[in-house]
Structure 1
Amino acid sequence: MEKNFKEDKDFKYVEIGEGQPIIILHGLMGGLSNFAGVAEFFPKQGYKVIIPELPIYELPLLKTNVKSFSDYLKSFLTVKEIDNAILLGNSLGGHISLVFAKNHPELVKGLVLAGSSGLYENSMGESYPKRGDYGYIQSKAQEVFYNPEVATKEIVDEVFEVVNDRNKLIRTLAIAKSAIRHNMAKDLPSMNIPTGIIWGENDIVTPPNVAEEFNKLLPDSDLYWLKECGHAPMMEHPDLFNEKLLNWLKKRNF
C-alpha cells in the first residue's frame, strides 16, 4: 500500500477508490498494512477506503491518549471534508472510533468494531519485563492470533523494535493506561449509531465476552463471529472478514 500514500497538511494516509468513505483506524501495535485485504477489496465494491496514519509516537506525552487521537481524527476529517464516515477500528482504533462517535455523532454514519478496547482488554503487560528477549516478544505477538504463524518475523520485529525503543515504549504504556481509564460502558447505551461488531471467537486480548457486552450496551448493533480467529480478524481471515463486513454494509444500506 506504500505507493498509495498521500500527504495533506500534517496528515499521511492511504486513500483508494471512490464512493462512501470507510475510515480505518489501526491499533496500537498495528500498522496500515494490517488492513491490506480491506483496502484491496472494498474499493471494488464502490467504497472509498481511507487509512490515516495515527501519530502514536509523535504527540507530546501528556497528549498521548485516546481523546487526543479522537481530536486528531476530527482534524483529519475536517481537512478531507468528510461528514458521513463509516469508522472501522481494530483494538485501539475501535476505541478511538467510539470516543469520536460519542463526541461527533453527526459526522458518523456507522461504526465497525473488531477486537476493540473501550470496555476491557488484556495487554502485553505494563512493564514488558523481558522486552530485550526476542523469544518472549515473539510468543506475546503470537498470542494475538489463533494461528501463531500469522505473526510473521516482520510483525515480531516491529513489536520488538517498539518495546526496545524508550520513547515508543513510554508512549505505548501511556496509551494503554489511557485506554483502561477511558472506559466506555456508561456512554454506549446513548450511542444510537449503527454498529457492526466483527470478532474472533478465540480472541484472548479482548475476549468474546467483551464483544457480547458491546452488543448488549450499544442500542443498534449486530454481532458477527469468526471461528478459529484471534484479536485481528482482518489479518487472520481477511476474506471472511470482508464478507461479514460487506454483508453488514448491505444490510444497513450503506
Structure 2
Amino acid sequence: MTLARTFKNHSRTFATLAVGVAAGAVVAGGGLALADTSAPTSDKQITNMTDEVNQIKAYYGDTVDANGEHWASSSSNYAIQVYGIEAKAEKYLAQKIKHDHSGRRAIVLDVDDTALSTYNYELETTFVYNAASNAQYIATKNFPAVFGMNDLANWAKAQGYTVFYITGRPESQRADTVRQLSSQGFPDADDAHLFLKNKANPPAYLSNCATPTTWTCSTVDYKSGTRAHLEALGYTITANFGDQFSDLNGGYSEQTYKLPNPMYFLP
C-alpha cells in the first residue's frame, strides 16, 4: 500500500498557525525573530501568549502520558496536514524515479521538526530555546518521528533514492543525531549521509562564508551550499523537505516541501 493511499482520506485544509509576540516569533537559537519592524500601538493587536500556546496544543492534538510528557497525536490536524504533504511528495517522487534508475537521485531532509518532532521539548520549555537544555534533551532522549516521515523516507529509499539529512545542529551532536534518526527507523542514518554545522572545521565547499576562525554562513548559505556540494558529487536532489523556509531557499533541488511548524521561526 502506498503512502498516497494511506493518506488519501486526509485532504482537509487547515489555516496556518503562527506563533508571535507582536511582530516577532520565538526562535530556536534564542530570542525573537521579528517578521517586520512595525510595533503594535495597542495590546489588542497582540495575541495573548496563553491563548497562543493553547491553540498550538490543540493543533498538535496534545496528549499527556503517565510521566507527564506531552506528545502530538497521530489524528491531530497537524498530523493530517503533514500526511497530505507527504502524499503529494510521494506522487512527485514516483513520477521522477519512473524513468531514471541511475541511482543518483536523492532527497534531503532537515532533522528537527521535519524528520523528528521536537514538540515535547518545546512544551517543556514553553517554546523558548535554551542551548544547554536542548543539548541535554538530545543527549538523553529520542524525539519521535514526524508523522509518516520515516515511512516516506523508507519508501523513497526502496524506490532508489539516496536519503541525506542536513541539520542546523552542531557537529558535536553527530552521534546523538544518528542515534535519534536510527531509533525512528530512518534509512541512511549514518555519518556519510548526515551533515551538521561544523564551525570549528568547516568544509571547503562553504569557504565563501566559513573558515576555521570565522563563520558568517546564514542558514540558507549553509544548507544550500551543502546541497550544491551533493550535486557536485553527482546527485540530483529531487525533493528537499524542511519546516523552515531557510531549509528550502537557495536552490539545488527540483522540488521543495514545507512542513508546518507554528512553534518557532528560523531566518
Question: Shorter chain as normaliser: what TM range?
Answer: 0.3 to 0.5
Taking CA–CA contacts closer than 8 Å with sequence separation of 6 or more, which of the two structures ends up with the larger relative contact order? 2
User: Normalization by structure 1: what TM-score?
Assistant: 0.34
User: Normalization by structure 2: what TM-score?
Assistant: 0.33
